Amino acid sequence: PYIHTSVCVFLSKQMTVLFLFMSCFASTLLQSFTRWSARRTKRSLTYTYPQFSCPKMQAKLCVRFLQLILGVQLYSPDRPVVDTAEVFLWLMAVGTVLCASYWSAWSAREAVTEQEKLLKDGHEVSLTVEGGGSSGIVDINVISAMMFVVVASCFLIMLYKLMSAWFIDLLVVIFCIGGVEGLQTCLVAILSRWFTSAAGSFVKVPFFGAISYLTMAVSPFCVVFAVLWAIYRQFPYAWIAQDILGIALIVTVIQIVRVPNLKVGSVLLSCAFLYDIFWVFVSKSLFHESVMIAVARGDNTDEDGVPMLLKIPRMFDPWGGYSIIGFGDILLPGLVVAFAMRYDWAGKKSLRCGYFLWSASAYGTGLLITYVALNLMDGHGQPALLYIVPFTLGTLMSLGWKRGELRNLWFKGEPERVCTHQGYLQMAKPPPAAAAHDD
């Protein structure tokens, strides 16, 4: 009985040790799978391997037993050919460009209508209005378009070299400020349709000047919204708030900053085209990795990239992660698409005979081809402007050349039309014969 009990106790101990070892092995396997399935970063990874001690003879028996029943296999699940995140991200990008273009054209038409009303009232008013643009609108020129490459490159290098937790926090603060301004501008523009009295009543605020009551009512909500996102930005659904702030910011910028003609738009997109290719592909030979992709991933930080991008989680991808698109891939082509829509509205062109429909379709096609190339390249980052710029500019230039309007598009930025306020000016002036008779 003693020997039998000893054997049972011994076997029980062996099985306990064996199960403990197997459970530790499984735990190590799961930890390794979880960590290695994440994106590769430059920061050091620490691993904790469970371990235990036992007599040498028991260890040998466990090793022999494990060699008989265990094997090692590597598991690499296949990614879906098309993830729903890419579809929704494409819809978000194209929808943002469409909404921003419509708002930009509507604002330009409202400014022209207001100017014509002032000119109709009298020629003395026209002298103050003539030559003045819409308030708050910034028209970029060729020099500023070319400076984009220099400024953007310097900023990207700064992001790459200074990328750390504190620098990400600084970017979050900057993004929140821009997001609050963009969200406030969009909400005020939408709500002013229903709350006309609040939008038209102003109060003077120190350091800010005259602010409408509607703006004062909306601003606290925008600030709280951005602050809550900044605090809880690492939560699973924080990407929704980030995308809302980002879209509002992009729409506001496209409404404020304008491309006056196709010449400036071509210079801007051409510079952005070279910028994107250089920092995605060529920078690998200089920095041993793609600077653009490293910054977008947020290497050396605990964040999922910089906040200046739209992102949607890949819900049906076993590897997880996010599908992302930078603000520049939406904002810069969006400026040219918005110019096309303003041109169509100024010339009272139909949707088919204008340029907006075709330029917007070209942008969507270029972005679609970007995602196709991304999947063909097994998920390696692609410069979106490499595909978007040729489609967008090529479509506008070819249509303008075919219709004989390329010169107007390139230099003037507006179609040939009769100036409607000349009649008002002629009506305000006395006839020459009547003036001579009075003398």
pLDDT in tens, 390-433: 999 999 999 999 999 999 999 888 776 645 544 444 444 454 44
Question: Which member of 276, 304, 317, 344 is catalytic?
Answer: 276
- For the cut 60, the answer to whether the pLDDT of residue 189 exceeds it is yes
Q: What tens digit of pLDDT does each residue of 296-313 get?
A: 777 666 666 788 899 998
Beta-ladder partners of 323: 312
Cα–Cα distance measured from residue 248 to residue 172, given in angstroms and rounded to the nearest whole number: 16
What pLDDT score does 1 carry? 36
Question: Whose structure tokens read 């296949």?
Answer: 78
Cα–Cα distance measured from residue 281 to residue 382, given in angstroms and rounded to the nearest whole number: 9
Question: Which member of 243, 299, 317, 329 is catalytic?
Answer: 329
pLDDT band for 436, please (50, 70, 90 cuts).
very low
How much is the average pLDDT of 266-287? 91
Report yes or no: 293 and 381 within 8 Å, Cβ to Cβ: yes
pTM above 0.85, yes or no: no
Q: Give yes or no: 276 in active site.
A: yes
pLDDT band for 271, please (50, 70, 90 cuts).
very high
Environment class of 217 (CB within 10 Å of its CB; exposed 0-12, middle 13-18, buried 19+):
middle
- For the cut 50, the answer to whether the pLDDT of residue 35 exceeds it is no
How much is the average pLDDT of 109-125? 69
Q: Give yes or no: 329 in active site.
A: yes
What pLDDT score does 261 carry? 92
Cα–Cα distance measured from residue 276 to residue 269, given in angstroms and rounded to the nearest whole number: 10
What pLDDT score does 435 carry? 43
DSSP 429: S
Quick one: tokens of 349? Answer: 């062109």
Report yes or no: 295 and 211 within 8 Å, Cβ to Cβ: no
Q: What tens digit of pLDDT does each residue of 130-151 get?
A: 444 445 788 899 999 999 888 9
Q: What tens digit of pLDDT does each residue of 356-401 get?
A: 999 999 999 999 999 888 888 766 778 899 999 999 999 999 999 9
Angle at 106 between CA 90 and CA 402, to 5 degrees: 70
- For the cut 60, the answer to whether the pLDDT of residue 39 exceeds it is no
